[in-house]
Amino acid sequence: MDTDYAIIGGGVVGLSVAHGLAGLGRRVTVLDEGDNAFRASRGNFGLVWVQSKGLKAPTYARWTRKSATLWREFADDLAEGAGIDLSLHQHGGYDFHFSEQSLEDRVRTYEALKADLGGDYPYEVLGHNALKRMEPHIGPKVIAAILHHEDGHVNPLRLLRALATEAGRLGAKVRTGAKVATVQPDAGGFRISLENGHQIAAGRLVICAGLGAATLGPQLGFAAPVRPERGQVLITEKLAPLMNRPSSKVRQVDEGGVQIGDSHEDVGFDDGETLEITAQIARQATDTFPALGRARLVRSWGALRVLTPDGLPIYQQSTVHPGAFLVTCHSGITLAAVHSRLLPLWLEGRADAPDLETFSETRFAVSSAA
Amino acid sequence: MKPVSPFLRLHEPTATVRLTWEGEEIFAAPGDSLAAALLAAGVDTFRASPVSGAPRAPYCMMGTCFECLVNVDGRPAVQACMTEVRDGMVVRRQRGGAEVNDD
């Protein structure tokens, strides 16, 4: 065997898993397609986010919160090992509301989840005046915000670099320009053939290939029901401090630029950007912080996120070819801490592994058979 | 003021445009980009990085890199390479990120 584990996909998800496995002393090889791939990591918003996740799935809400609570130590370890500060801030985050109705609807869903979580869901509603004291630049159209105290954000570019650096320091090999053509079981492990003609023999294999899972997964018995969802993102010039906490639609990154996003489009494999969506998300941001109307945009781009039918992650070992795993999710930044710290225990089949049964892809079996 | 600049003009200008940099008068040629005029006048630090405070100067000279930001007539974070010089322009170093105000 060339390696204990081959990880297909060198984005945030693949590198988080590789980092964790390398930390357990496993030999790990990460196979990354390269910059022509539809990288979901490119569409991330840098959030370590708890509120609104798992509203209808308390197990997912717990998994998300587990990651958020592990993030501080995870970031500190990466900073120490890789020498890269991730600028993690977990001082809460906002969900802004422009009407009483949307606020009431949202609070009702949060209260239901809070009950499911035994009353432990630390959020509060800030009316306009209370919000204005915390965020002096907030606009008059924002009637209220939900502040969830477990939310936060991080510098995702430095996260990716730190993961690659630290995984490498722990012995993992990261191969770029290594697009996988085929995967097949072979001699008690797996044989991976790259498009460039190289072959790799791995004891175990983890597909963290985002949308690529749809073609690689079925080769090893996975259904891998993932589809693309386009998100467009804008970023302004670097500005003096304008806001103190992030939201899922607008945040000021640690270096001063304001990132604006949160579009959801079903347009297939098209990661371009459009003026219509640019205008729509920019208007949403200036309705929230009117001063942004004076800021200049320096970049806009589109990226394809990875969605499962219910929006929750899939963690699945192949029933046909044990030793092959499928890992895919929508929130690779938030989940990076559990993907590095806990998921490797599950891959290793250890007794102290988290129970991930509810994230099995067999949950889709009924609907896909119908 | 005639500071030493590593940038030389191909032709001596036939007319001059007067502007100020950090309060000192400098001369440029009509049609100069502000970035070219400042470089020719020996200016080597256009701004300080809002992240590290490190000095910055033009890099791409074509509007892409945002390294050449300066304050022009009170307007922050103007791309000097994309701005033509004008008589009486008051140009200052950009310090920190641009302030955007509520009105």
Interface test with A, best of B69, B100, B101, B102 (most A CBs within 10 A): B100
Query: Residue B11 domain-assigned?
Result: no
Are A357 and A256 within one domain? no
Ranges of chain B whose pLDDT falls below 50: 1
Are A284 and A353 within one domain? no
DSSP state of B42: T
Q: How many domains in chain B?
A: 1
User: What's the pLDDT band for A366 if we cut at 50, 70, 90?
Assistant: low
Torsion of CA A200, A206, A211, A212, to 10 degrees: 20
A281-333 pLDDT tens trace? 999 999 999 999 999 898 999 999 999 999 999 999 999 999 999 999 999 99
Query: Residue A88 domain-assigned?
Result: no
Are A186 and A248 within one domain? no
Query: Residue B54 domain-assigned?
Result: yes
Query: Residue A124 domain-assigned?
Result: yes
Residue B37 has a pLDDT of 96
Query: Residue A341 domain-assigned?
Result: yes
> Which residues of chain A does B69 touch, with a Cβ-Cβ cutoff of 8 Å?
237
Query: Residue A136 domain-assigned?
Result: yes
Give me the long-range contacts of A107-116 (CB less than 8 A, separation at least 24). Answer: A107/A146, A109/A55, A110/A51, A110/A55, A110/A146, A112/A55, A113/A54, A113/A55, A113/A58, A113/A61, A116/A58, A116/A61
Are A218 and A232 within one domain? no
- Interchain pair A237, B99: CB under 8 A: no
C-alpha A265 chain-centroid distance: 17
Interface size A-B, in CB pairs within 8 Å, comes to 41
Are A131 and A260 within one domain? no
Domain that holds residue A266: 227-307
Residues of B with CB under 8 A from a CB of A: 50-51, 66, 69, 77, 96-103
Distance CA A120, CA B62 (A): 54
Residue A33 pLDDT exceeds 90: yes
* Nearest in space to A261 (alpha carbons), one of A156, A337, A160, A137: A156
Residue A202 has a pLDDT of 98
For residues B58 and B79, the answer to whether their CB atoms sit within 8 Å is: no
Are A130 and A162 within one domain? no
For residues A121 and A64, the answer to whether their CB atoms sit within 8 Å is: no
> Which residues of chain A does B51 touch, with a Cβ-Cβ cutoff of 8 Å?
238, 255-256
Find the CATH number of the domain harbouring B45: 3.10.20.440
Residues of A with CB under 8 A from a CB of B: 137, 237-242, 255-256, 290-296, 298
Domain that holds residue B62: 17-95
Q: What value does the mean pLDDT take over residues A196-219?
A: 96
Are A198 and A130 within one domain? no
Find the CATH number of the domain harbouring A44: 3.50.50.60
Q: Which of A307, A333, A352 is the last residue of a domain?
A: A307
* Minimal CA separation from B14 to chain A, in Å: 36
Query: Residue A68 domain-assigned?
Result: yes
Are A188 and A334 within one domain? yes
Are A206 and A349 within one domain? yes
Across the interface, which of A255, A295, A298 has its CB nearest the CB of B100?
Answer: A295
B35 is written with which tokens? 């970035």
A142 is written with which tokens? 């924002």
Tell me what percent of the residues of chain A surpass a pLDDT of 90.
93
Tell me what percent of the residues of chain A surpass a pLDDT of 70.
99
Q: How many domains in chain A?
A: 3
The b/e string for A248-269 (b: 16+ C-beta within 10 A; e otherwise) is bbbbbbbebbbbbbbbebeeee
* Nearest in space to B72 (alpha carbons), one of B26, B22, B1, B17: B22
* Minimal CA separation from A95 to chain B, in Å: 21
ipTM: 0.77
Q: State the average pLDDT for chain A.
A: 95
DSSP state of A231: E
